[in-house]
Amino acid sequence: MDTLTLAACAKLNIGLRVAGLRADGYHELDSVFQTIDLTDQLTLTLREAPGTQVRMVPDRGIDPNANLVHRAIALLDESVDRDAGLSVQVDKRIPIGAGLGGGSSDAAATLVALSHLWGLGLSRAELQPYARRLGSDVSFFLHGGRCRVSGRGDRIEPMGDGNHAIIEAYVLVVPPWPLATSEVYRTFDQLRSSSLINSPYANDLEAAALQLEPRLGSYRDWLLAKDVAFGMSGSGPVYFALASSVAEATDMAAAADRELSGDALVCQPTTSGQQWPLRYP
């Protein structure tokens, strides 16, 4: 097996509580994470020429040192003895700086794929220590589906997929500008705010995101006027609204496309963090 192609799923936070500041400077979280069928596609190929090449399409100029795919390869590379080179192409479809975990999911997918391609046979549990070192959300994507996530983001309790039958589709409203997670948390610390709404979808980081990017308010107002259940994902700025059918979600997305700037996407939940033909142990 010389080439592997797999899809890395985005996530939504179905509610997010920040329970306090931890001794390590991170925040203590309590959230429900759900993977969705908005994906990046990764193609990993073994090459004769030594070295590693990572190509992002489109190339948004992400610094290779900060690129989690590079970092995942380098981390796993330390523990294998290999001669062959590696090239990776990442077709980016998950918006960057959106609160959808795209970079973290790419990193988890890279770990899973390399374990196969390099014949390491590492289980999810064995990949967890690598995931933890790469970022707070990476551990979750090794599980995917719907999980209760706490701690720094690395305590994961799978919740099963019982809710898929109820929540059939989500509409994602994606503003055309990103937000930096670290800045949203910094603003949260200054504001010491809690969530704006009392609902299962309440997100304690929403007031901080609105403070940092006041233009986000018009997206929130639009959703309030629609009288639908909605929440912000992660550190934003993406909002998601719940729809009871794909047809209802498609109508809402068409209205968002007409009335708001940015993108509106219809997504459905997935039961895993990666999609590919192979089963993973």
Span of 22-30, 110-118, 161-169, 257-265 interacting with ligand C5P by CB under 6 A: 22-30
Q: Is residue 27 close enough to count as binding ligand C5P by CB under 6 A?
A: yes
Catalytic residue check, 92: no
Burial 142-176 (b: 16+ CB within 10 A, else e): bbbbbbebbebbbebeebeeeeeeebbbbbbbbbe
Which residues are 40's β-sheet partners? 8
Which residues between 213 and 272 bind ligand C5P (CB under 6 A)? none
**Least gap, CB of 185 to ligand C5P (angstroms):** 4
- Check residue 22 and report its DSSP letter: -
Q: Is residue 181 close enough to count as binding ligand C5P by CB under 6 A?
A: yes
**Is-contact 90 42, C-beta < 8 A?**
yes
Q: Starting from the edge strand earliest in sequence, which strands make up the sheet with 263-267, in order?
A: 230-232, 239-243, 169-174, 263-267
- From the list 11, 40, 92, 204, the catalytic residue is 11
**Is-contact 273 253, C-beta < 8 A?**
no
**Least gap, CB of 277 to ligand C5P (angstroms):** 29
Q: Tokens 């997504």 sit at which residue?
A: 267
Other CB atoms within a 10 A radius of the CB of residue 212 amount to 19
Q: Is residue 203 close enough to count as binding ligand C5P by CB under 6 A?
A: no
Number of residues that bind ligand C5P (CB under 6 A): 11
- Our CB check for ligand C5P shows the closer of 180 and 247 to be 180
Instruction: Assign 256 to helix, strand or coil.
Output: helix
**Least gap, CB of 180 to ligand C5P (angstroms):** 8
**Least gap, CB of 186 to ligand C5P (angstroms):** 7
Q: Is residue 187 close enough to count as binding ligand C5P by CB under 6 A?
A: no
**Is-contact 72 34, C-beta < 8 A?**
no
- Judged by CB under 6 A, the residue of 95, 102, 144, 153 near ligand C5P is 153
Longest distance between any two alpha carbons in the chain, whole Å:
59
- Judged by CB under 6 A, the residue of 65, 182, 190, 198 near ligand C5P is 182
- Reported residue count of the chain is 281
Catalytic residue check, 11: yes
- Judged by CB under 6 A, the residue of 11, 17, 152, 220 near ligand C5P is 152
Quick check: bond before 178 cis, omega within 30? no
* Segments of 233-281 assigned E as strands: 239-243, 263-267, 274-275
Q: Is residue 155 close enough to count as binding ligand C5P by CB under 6 A?
A: no
Q: 272, exposed or middle or buried, with CB in 10 Å at 0-12, 13-18, 19+?
A: middle
Q: Token pair of 10, please?
A: 């985005």
**Least gap, CB of 188 to ligand C5P (angstroms):** 8
Span of 131-139, 141-149, 222-230, 268-276 interacting with ligand C5P by CB under 6 A: 131-139
- From the list 40, 106, 137, 154, the catalytic residue is 137
Instruction: Assign 252 to helix, strand or coil.
Output: helix
**Least gap, CB of 144 to ligand C5P (angstroms):** 17
- Our CB check for ligand C5P shows the closer of 18 and 122 to be 18
Q: Is residue 136 close enough to count as binding ligand C5P by CB under 6 A?
A: yes
Q: Which residues bind ligand C5P (CB under 6 A)?
A: 26-27, 29, 135-137, 152-153, 181-182, 185
Name the residues annotated as catalytic. Answer: 11, 137
